[in-house]
Structure 1
Amino acid sequence: MKILIIIPCFNEQASLPNLIADLERLTLPEKYRLQLCVVNDCSTDNTSNVAQKLNVTLLDLPVNLGIGGAVQSGLKYALLNNYDLAVQMDGDGQHPPAELQKMIDCYEKTGASLVIGSRFLIKEGFQSSFLRRLGITYFHLLNKFFTGKSIYDSTSGFRLFDKKAIELSARYYPDDYPEPESLVFFSKAGLAIQETPVIMVHRTGGQSSIRSFTSFYYCVKVTLAMFFSFIRKS
């Protein structure tokens, strides 16, 4: 089975080499063949040049699309090249490659179309700041209202997509801060969603795009997006 690791990057020149090295050292069962795809979302640092020197497929976006657009670009590439699975993994180093096996195990056990790596099921590793955990709890409750599903880490960007999820996401994927809204979209489409515990670490470089006042803006914007996704005709 072919797995494409999609690594959306915006100004991740510091963390990218170590992440790729860890992925290249990763050992998976023989039936899985891993390939790496860096999606450079029009970074203003040296991310593109760094990626060109690594053993990866590089998608260099000519304009900044945001995290959703970058991930969808990788998913479109996965669809066009007939990958069986795709995994979204942040370029900042927060998602240790060794945790990927847990997501594959969950996929094999449940057959879910979307597997989410969760920080909060066993509460080990980096748990994010207190304010962010409040926001994540809020989105957990909001998603439960819209979908009837309890996804405790609905903002997690560590995700595994099967072929159904890849095909659906290649046609439409939320463009800005997409993780919570996409759960509403996937649920309305009837896709099975599972959450599995993983251990995350603090970012190894760069800065988060969600800081101070933008946290409030993020909550309002994503809430509205989730509502409109909920009422949108299937």
Structure 2
Amino acid sequence: MNAVLSGILILTGLGAIVWGGERYRSQFAKRDLIVGTVAGLGLIVLASAPVFYDAVGSLLNLESRVVTVSLLGNLFLLGVILYLFTVLRETQQDVAELSRNLSISGTATDARFDGGNHPIVVVMPAYNEAASIESVLSALPEQVADHPLEPVVVSDGSDDETALRAGDAGATVAEHPINQGQGGALRTGFKIAQQKDAEVVVTMDADGQHPVAELPNLVQPVLDGDADYVMGSRYRGVDRTGNGIIRKTGIRFFTWLINRLTKSGITDCTNGYRAIRGDDIGKFTLTEERFSAPELIIEARKNGLEIKEIPMVINEREAGETKKPQLGYAIGLTRTILTTWIR
């Protein structure tokens, strides 16, 4: 190796070490310090003591120094890429959390009950559901089982009049400035429900698929102490959604997978019509932004909640089209089920 190339490698290595040290000194970023130090030392050793790579190549049965350096370099590059993905994910989560907190801080969250029973809070994630949100909210009763009913609509980055119409219909409305997905919207709604001291938290869609008439059947087992987590099942009841054979097969497969992993006995893992005891919401570790249904079920099982499934009628959407992707939905559900089960 000629002197010029050696000098360039040494200077570059020193620069990487200095960068890592500066990042740690100013931001206490340990991972940046490690990346900079490892990269810098690797370049300096290559320039000043290349026989080191010959020794490593001998251990790996590699005859060429070039091959050894390329292999180690690619492994290091892969590590850096994974590190960058981790940083990106953490940044996205921080932005989402900030967005949710800002949404909640701008929302009136005081419970509206006076010395009586704690409210049943109905959380509705809504993304561009202006066409149906008013009719869904207007169908809600003022009370269920002697508990006041309080609807909370989380407008998840909607660019139509979802938030305006929900507010006009009397709901507590939180607005996400950017779309975070159903999971992110539910987490905002759950925080508001906790601030309202909810006895039971119900989640339902804003598109009219979940019949309001089923609300008493959904919440009563929780109020009676027979269950902590009640979910509806279209397969024990009536499915009017018009789902095709591919989607139905997919739902049954993912339900089977959850049952095998968690020793559950559910039949409809993607149903978003559920009732959860208010005091148990805070026990869940929720990180999933979009594919929230499996995460909630698995978290309920992990925390020892008594889960009950009841027959349910699920209707077709009142208006608009589904926001769920096809292939991406299957991949997302698989990832969510496995990561939630493992963690």
TM-score by length of structure 2 reads 0.62
> Please, which of 194, 203, 225 is the counterpart of residue 336 of structure 2?
225
- Alignment-derived partner of residue 96 in structure 1: 211
Alpha-carbon distance in structure 1 between the residues aligned to 2:242 and 2:256: 18
Change (3 A) 1:27 1:128: farther
Q: How far apart in 1 are the matches of 2:207 and 2:332?
A: 24
Deviation, 1:182, is 2.2
> 1 CA distance for matches of 2:253 and 2:317?
23
In structure 1, the residue matched to 2:123 is 6
Greater helix content? 2
| Residue 82 (str. 1) matches residue 82 (str. 2) | no
TM-superposed deviation, 1:81: 2.0
Deviates further, 158-167 or 61-70: 158-167
Post-superposition CA distance 1:95-136 (Å, at most 9, x none): 011111111233245532211011111345446332221111
Residues 136 and 197 (structure 1), Cα distance of their counterparts in 2 relative to 1, 3 Å cut: same
CA positional deviation for 1:53: 1.6
Closer, same or farther: CA 173–121 of 1 in aligned 2, 3 Å: farther
Map of 1:159 onto structure 2? 274
RMSD of equivalent CA atoms: 1.8
Distance of 1:22 and 1:179 partners within structure 2? 24
Q: SS state of the match for residue 45, structure 1?
A: coil
Instruction: Output the CA distance in 2 between the equivalents of 1:77 and 1:217.
Output: 30
Counterparts of 1:57 and 1:83, CA distance in 2:
14
- More relative contact order in 1 or in 2 (CA 8 Å, sep 6+)? 1
Q: Deviation of residue 173 (structure 1)?
A: 4.7
Change (3 A) 1:4 1:140: same
* Stretch moving more, 5-14 or 45-54: 45-54
**Counterpart position of 1:22:** 139
Taking structure 1 as the reference length, the TM-score comes to 0.89
Count of residue pairs brought into register by the alignment: 226
**Equivalent-residue separation in structure 2 for 1:172 and 1:220 (angstroms):** 19
CA radius of gyration, larger in:
2
Q: Is the 8 A contact 2:132 2:318 kept in 1?
A: yes
Within 5 A, what are the aligned runs for 1:17-166?
17-24=134-141, 28-29=144-145, 31-109=146-224, 111-123=226-238, 125-126=240-241, 128-166=243-281
> What are the Cα deviations for residues 176-221 of structure 1, in whole angstroms up to 9, with x where unaligned?
11102321222122222111111121100122122xxx32221122
- Whole-angstrom distance in 1 between the partners of 2:310 and 2:259: 17
Q: Is the contact between residue 298 and residue 340 of structure 2 (CA under 8 Å) also seen in structure 1?
A: yes
Once residues 162 and 131 of structure 2 are traced to their aligned partners in structure 1, the CA distance between those partners, rounded to angstroms, is: 8
Percent identity between matched residues is 30
The 1:137–1:16 alpha-carbon spacing in structure 2 relative to 1, beyond 3 Å, is: same
* TM-fit CA distance, 1:153: 0.9
Stretches of structure 1 lacking an aligned partner (at least 5 in a row): none
Residue of structure 1 equivalent to 2:96: none
Say whether residues 1:201 and 2:318 are aligned partners.
no
